[in-house]
Structure 1
């Protein structure tokens, strides 16, 4: 679990630093757009009050707190799950990545009332209208990692090692 904590801590820190730099130091909230390597990488300010792609977005303060509660419950659920399963190094890392990202977006909702999205990537003549952030990437990568690196219990892993040694 220590690996999960430290992974989550660093993901959270990188997410919050990136948001501070882009939103405040580069003043993206006023400038609205900065072309970095057009069209592949651009900074576009978007305040997301909902979840992915603005789903469930409302001006309601109640929805904000529901989404905060959901992210916190999801984080606790993932931590309980991996504590019980003991998934191995990459499962712990994946959980930390996901929880660090989720907590990064929780802090945005508490501080700003919405999640600060700013990364925009387009390619090959397709203009992507959506923006995302480091926490969004972390949540996605962490979820994929949990799918790939969990599911076997300690007993299954140890019995498969024994079966492999016996040639069965």
Structure 2
């Protein structure tokens, strides 16, 4: 039960925070133009850097299938999953939130635009949380290897 909560709580927090921020931008059509970061509402039809936008309507179903496949893999390899349960919850919460956007809005709601010194892709809180989750998994893996030697 504890392991399930360690997965569900970060998943729910990331999902809830991300959806709340996105709905704020959607309902208010909020925009802010700053010197370093601008906040602009954009619907990304692709994935990172708008790649695979040509898949259009199929992309959301491919992403759902991918999330289900990863979840099944973790479920069948529960020993490995326990080591990464919190970062996995973070990643799944963010991933589910972005996929839900595709069903509701026709694309992922993005709003953070970094443009200081160089222009970066427009992204959202869920994208940041996916990177945080992956970084945690990498750090956990490296720390685990160092303790074995």
TM-score range, shorter chain: 0.7 to 0.9
Query: Structure 1 unaligned runs (5+)?
Result: 164-168
Question: What RMSD over aligned residues (CA atoms) do the two structures have, in Å?
Answer: 2.6
Q: Between Structure 1 and Structure 2, which shows a larger proportion of helix residues?
A: 2
- Residue 63 of structure 2 is aligned to residue 67 of structure 1: yes
Q: Deviations over 1:5-56 (max 9, x none)?
A: 10111011000000011121x214xxxx422xx2222112221111101000
Q: Unpaired runs of 5+ in structure 2?
A: none
Q: Give the superposition deviation at 1:129.
A: 4.9
Larger Rg: 1
Count of residues in Structure 1 that have an aligned counterpart in Structure 2: 144
2:112 maps to which residue?
Answer: 119
Correspondence for 1:27:
29
- For residues 93 and 82 of structure 1, the distance between their equivalents in structure 2, rounded to whole angstroms, comes to 16
- Give 1:133's aligned residue: 124
Change (3 A) 1:81 1:97: farther
TM-score for both structures, normalised by structure 2:
0.82
Query: How far has the Cα of 1:150 moved from its partner?
Result: 3.6
Q: TM-score, normalised by structure 1?
A: 0.73
